[in-house]
Amino acid sequence: MHLPLRKCYHVIKLGIVLVLILTILTLFEQWRGGKRSTRAQELEMVQDEFEKQILEDEARIIPGLGEGGVAAHLVGEAKRLGEESEKALAINVYLSDRIAYNRTLRDYRNPACTRVLYDAELPSASVIIIFHNEPYSVVVRTIWSVVNSARRDQPWYRHANFVDRASGKTMNLGYPGQDPTSPFVYLKEIILVDDNSTLPELKGKLSHYIRTRLPPDLIRVLRLPDRQGLMRARMTGARAARGDVLIFLDAHCEAGADWLRPLLQRIRHKRDAVLTPLIDVVDQTTFQLDAAEHFQVGGFTFMGHFTWIEVPEREKKRRGSDIAPTWSPTMAGGLFAMNRAYYWELGAYDEQMAGWGGENLEMSFRIWQCGGTLETIPCSRVGHVFRSFHPYGLPAHTDTHGINTARMAEVWMDDYAELFYLHRPDLRNNPKIGDVTHRRILREKLQCKSFQWYLDHVYKEKFVPVRDVYGFGRFTNPSSGLCLDTLQREGEASPLGVYPCHDTLQATQYLSLSLSGELRDEEKCAELQYSRRNPDEGGEGEGRKVLMVTCHEKDRGQKWRYLSSKQLQHVESQLCLEAGPQPGADVAARPCRRDAPAQRWRIDYSEDN
């Protein structure tokens, strides 16, 4: 059979094209395969590099250092390097790198806590830890403390009852549906949220550490593509969480013995209770855990700051026992547990808050005003490194604390927002605050109570600088142009002084004379220093110093009155308050003299003005 030449030619052409295509395809496949294998190789090399670094890290650890929570010290050159790192980062990172990442803390709970019986079956917990450029070893230690405290073989679980108190059924320790062979109880997951850190060790190396050193399937790392600030970082974690209860921690914490169960038990019992553990101080220099027997709860100032306050006497009576849930008017904000569904129902966070600050008071007021309770659980203890400054920058150096607090005040404080603006006139009607309509709608929807209700029922002890007062604001001595000023002096009893009057109301010059006769700021009252040598001293020499001390209503020593001569007289001693001679000087109480210009005071806002 003969093919015509023309046809033959076509077949050959087709064959050549086919061969060409096949060759190209094979070459392409080979090229792709080669590329893939170099990528895998590269990855392996990177992993090896992380592994090498981690092995080096591990070689640095000094066994036993800081174990149990005792103070750790380095000497010589190491000490110097430690101090240097602390100066830069507000944590002695050089020391932290040398303390075991999984050090344990001694059990320093109130002994009564060890006798509490918890249900065998409790809700599950998602622990959410957010971080931005935190020291690597400190973050890893935080994770280890959470992992270790939840191990099934911990002594505090070993003697637990296996009969569920609520249902009467015999069951395994854990949460409903948990695999009873899991080495962990109650802890469903740990979610790390990296708020766009720039430190390289918090990226691949941290992930590699988690993959190779920590239990599998327990820890997830979510990486935010841009810096979101701590509120949105926590919300990202909360969205990913699957546990019944959300527990938030800062990335420089160490969880104590059996800290989970008291939280989970309370939330099982009261769904809308938001809980903080008792927060202990981990020293930024020595990593010593300072576990005080005595604990405080949260307060606030109208400047918008969180403060620690003593547990009010009426609350000590109400709670009934030293280890019972203790109502707290506010929380510090970083360490708390909350039913997951309730967290979202209550409005999570104000997503328009950025950076750092303000969200803690916002959430505290919201919890109370909208029907929940905020409680400190004394049997759950967690250490936190309190840093002397923020080692990280905030977005474009903006005052996120001020702006966030203004957002909070606009939504939750009603007319009392004015007291915040007295301190921050620059923020009044400031467009930087942005729109808060959606948060007001939330307040409406949840039918939340007023700030007045909060003050009357939750925080009765709170002194309101403009309520039941004779006058408030700056106390100016016109002849010298100096104002009464607490001079930013810290401490139990620090002398009241004078300083050039500020144009705006600053916290140190913001004083009130209450109707009950207290001359005070938000937290402390003016009292005469007692002189043992001569209790009635004051005539000669320096006069008697005036100290700012804890207010105690009963004591006559803290009573003052404002005379028509514009003098401030101490009722008990009959002495008058006299301005010091120069800025920064202490004031003194001396015999009243109507003609003494240094004894004359003008109050910014009072019935006379």
Closest CA to 407 of 370, 354, 452: 354
CA angle 152, 157, 163 (to 5 degrees): 110
Binders of ligand LR7: how many residues, by CB under 6 A?
A: 24
Quote the CA–CA distance of 289 and 195 in Å, as a whole number.
27
Shortest distance, position 192 Cβ to ligand LR7, whole Å = 10
Shortest distance, position 390 Cβ to ligand LR7, whole Å = 5
CB 346 within 8 A of CB 99: no
Give the burial class of 368: count Cβ atoms within 10 A of its Cβ; 0-12 exposed, 13-18 middle, 19 or more buried. Answer: buried
Q: Which is nearer to Mn ion, 296 or 430 (CB)?
A: 296
Q: Residue 521 CB: number of other CB atoms within 10 A?
A: 23
Quote the CA–CA distance of 356 and 401 in Å, as a whole number.
6
Closest CA to 96 of 250, 381, 334, 288: 288
Q: Which stretch binds ligand LR7 (CB under 6 A): 48-56, 126-134, 517-525, 569-577?
A: 126-134
Q: Which is nearer to Mn ion, 129 or 264 (CB)?
A: 129
Q: Which is nearer to ligand LR7, 119 or 250 (CB)?
A: 250
Q: Using the rule CB under 6 A, which residue among 189, 258, 350, 359 binds ligand LR7?
A: 359
Quick note: the x/- pattern for ligand LR7 over 377-416, rule CB under 6 A, is -------x-x---x--------------------------
Q: Which is nearer to ligand LR7, 298 or 312 (CB)?
A: 298
Alpha-carbon separation of residue 154 from 107, 148, 151, 247, 541 (angstroms): 12, 8, 6, 20, 66
Using CB under 6 A, which residues numbered 438 to 497 contact ligand LR7?
Answer: none
Quote the CA–CA distance of 186 and 175 in Å, as a whole number.
6
551 binds, among ligand LR7, Mn ion, none (CB under 5 to 8 A by kind): none
Closest CA to 151 of 11, 15, 260: 260
The answer to whether residue 201 forms part of the interface with ligand LR7 (CB under 6 A) is no
To the nearest 10 degrees (0 to 180), the angle between helices 437-445 and 400-412 is 40
Q: Using the rule CB under 6 A, which residue among 132, 141, 208, 474 binds ligand LR7?
A: 132
Q: Which is nearer to Mn ion, 127 or 519 (CB)?
A: 127
Quote the CA–CA distance of 40 and 292 in Å, as a whole number.
52
Q: Residue 4 CB: number of other CB atoms within 10 A?
A: 8
Q: Which is nearer to ligand LR7, 380 or 477 (CB)?
A: 380
The answer to whether residue 333 forms part of the interface with ligand LR7 (CB under 6 A) is yes
Q: Using the rule CB under 6 A, which residue among 355, 402, 497, 517 binds ligand LR7?
A: 355
Binders of Mn ion: how many residues, by CB under 5 A?
A: 1
Quote the CA–CA distance of 262 and 382 in Å, as a whole number.
12
The answer to whether residue 250 forms part of the interface with ligand LR7 (CB under 6 A) is yes
Q: Which stretch binds Mn ion (CB under 5 A): 102-110, 134-142, 216-224, 243-251?
A: 243-251
The answer to whether residue 66 forms part of the interface with ligand LR7 (CB under 6 A) is no
Quick note: the x/- pattern for ligand LR7 over 134-173, rule CB under 6 A, is x---------------------------------------
Q: SS3 for 35-78, per residue?
A: HHHHHHHHHHHHHHHHHHHHHHHHHHCCCCCCCECCCCCCCHHH
The answer to whether residue 374 forms part of the interface with ligand LR7 (CB under 6 A) is no
The answer to whether residue 237 forms part of the interface with ligand LR7 (CB under 6 A) is no
Q: Using the rule CB under 6 A, which residue among 92, 284, 360, 369 binds ligand LR7?
A: 360
Q: Using the rule CB under 6 A, which residue among 334, 347, 538, 580 binds ligand LR7?
A: 334
Q: What's the number of CA atoms in the CB half-sphere (13 Å) around residue 527?
A: 19
Quote the CA–CA distance of 224 and 127 in Å, as a whole number.
18
One-letter amino acid identity for 268? R
The answer to whether residue 254 forms part of the interface with Mn ion (CB under 5 A) is no
CB 275 within 8 A of CB 263: yes
Q: Which stretch binds ligand LR7 (CB under 6 A): 67-75, 214-222, 352-360, 507-515?
A: 352-360
Q: Which stretch binds ligand LR7 (CB under 6 A): 331-339, 455-463, 498-506, 536-544?
A: 331-339
Q: Where are the beta strands (DSSP E) in 335-404?
A: 336-339, 373-385
Q: Using the rule CB under 6 A, which residue among 229, 262, 312, 378 binds ligand LR7?
A: 229
Shortest distance, position 389 Cβ to ligand LR7, whole Å = 9
Closest CA to 149 of 249, 7, 2, 46: 249
Using CB under 6 A, which residues numbered 277 to 296 contact ligand LR7?
Answer: 279
CB 110 within 8 A of CB 378: yes
Q: Using the rule CB under 6 A, which residue among 233, 417, 505, 551 binds ligand LR7?
A: 233
251 binds, among ligand LR7, Mn ion, none (CB under 5 to 8 A by kind): ligand LR7
Nearest-CB residue to ligand LR7? 334
Shortest distance, position 332 Cβ to Mn ion, whole Å = 9
Q: Which is nearer to ligand LR7, 312 or 357 (CB)?
A: 357
The answer to whether residue 250 forms part of the interface with Mn ion (CB under 5 A) is yes
β-pairing, 544-550 vs 560-562, is unpaired
CB 463 within 8 A of CB 524: no
Nearest-CB residue to Mn ion? 250
Q: Which stretch binds ligand LR7 (CB under 6 A): 29-37, 64-72, 107-115, 225-233?
A: 225-233
Quote the CA–CA distance of 294 and 183 in Å, as a whole number.
34
The answer to whether residue 256 forms part of the interface with ligand LR7 (CB under 6 A) is no
Strand partners, 519: 513
The answer to whether residue 357 forms part of the interface with ligand LR7 (CB under 6 A) is yes
Under the rule (CB under 5 A), what is the footprint of Mn ion?
250
List contacts with ligand LR7 (CB under 6 A).
Answer: 130-132, 134, 195, 229-230, 233, 250-251, 279, 306, 332-335, 355-357, 359-360, 384, 386, 390
